[in-house]
Amino acid sequence: MASTIIFDAFGTLIQRAKKRENPYARLVTPEASADLRRQVLTRNVPIDVFAKEQGLEHLIPLLRREIENEIAALALYPDVLETIARLRGAGHKIAVCSNLAFEYCATVRLLLPTVDEFVFSCEVGAAKPQPQIFDEACQRLRCRPRDVLFIGDSKRADFEGPLAFGMRARLIDREARQTLEAVRLAAAKYSGLLESYSEF
């Protein structure tokens, strides 16, 4: 059985512009409730809905412009498509599992057309590190947690969460110019279960 590699999206496969618009920050302020912050990632609705629910309809045109600008600035890290192609060529299933608000889902899918599965928090109704989202990923990929290597840039969401669910996990630090090449080499070395990984 082929091993499965699940990647986080932002900060792992996709780079944001250095100067972000971050429109959700206008709604999810430091004073906002934890429930609202959770809902942004786990409700499959556009940003307009959140603005209306908070009585901030007047911000919708600005929020839409900022969303469009932020999406237009999204780009893959240079090594991503080649690495995914090599991993798939070696027989590995590839998925993206990300804490993502509604507006970004379509663009992530367009940027990564060769990925086998996309598991987004807003569509699942649970966000990393909640076990439900990892369970959903395994069900869609028809794999066991122990068959999975999870790669991401967040210690809590992409490392501790997957490990607690029974997956293998490694962090990547794009700010330190780490690449996915180490993952590709390790995956090529281990056919089937990914028994052990050295740190990047």
| Residue-wise pLDDT tens digits, 127-179 | 999 999 999 999 999 999 999 999 999 999 999 999 999 999 989 999 888 89
Tell me: pLDDT of 71 over 60.
yes
- Strand-pair partners of 93: 4
Amino acid symbol at 73: A
Secondary-structure class of domain 4-15+75-189 per CATH: alpha beta
Q: Where does CATH 3.40.50.1000 sit in the chain?
A: 4-15+75-189
Query: Would residue 160 be called left, alpha or beta, if left means φ above 0 and alpha means ψ between -120 and 50 degrees?
Result: alpha
Q: From CA 196, how far away is CA 51, in angstroms rounded?
A: 46
47 pLDDT band, cuts 50/70/90, is: very high
Tell me: pLDDT of 195 over 80.
no
Q: How high is the mean pLDDT of the chain?
A: 89
Q: What is the CA radius of gyration of the chain?
A: 17
197 pLDDT band, cuts 50/70/90, is: very low
Task: Enter the tokens of residue 133.
Answer: 């989202």
- Strand-pair partners of 15: 75
Contact (CB, 8 A) for 3 and 187: yes
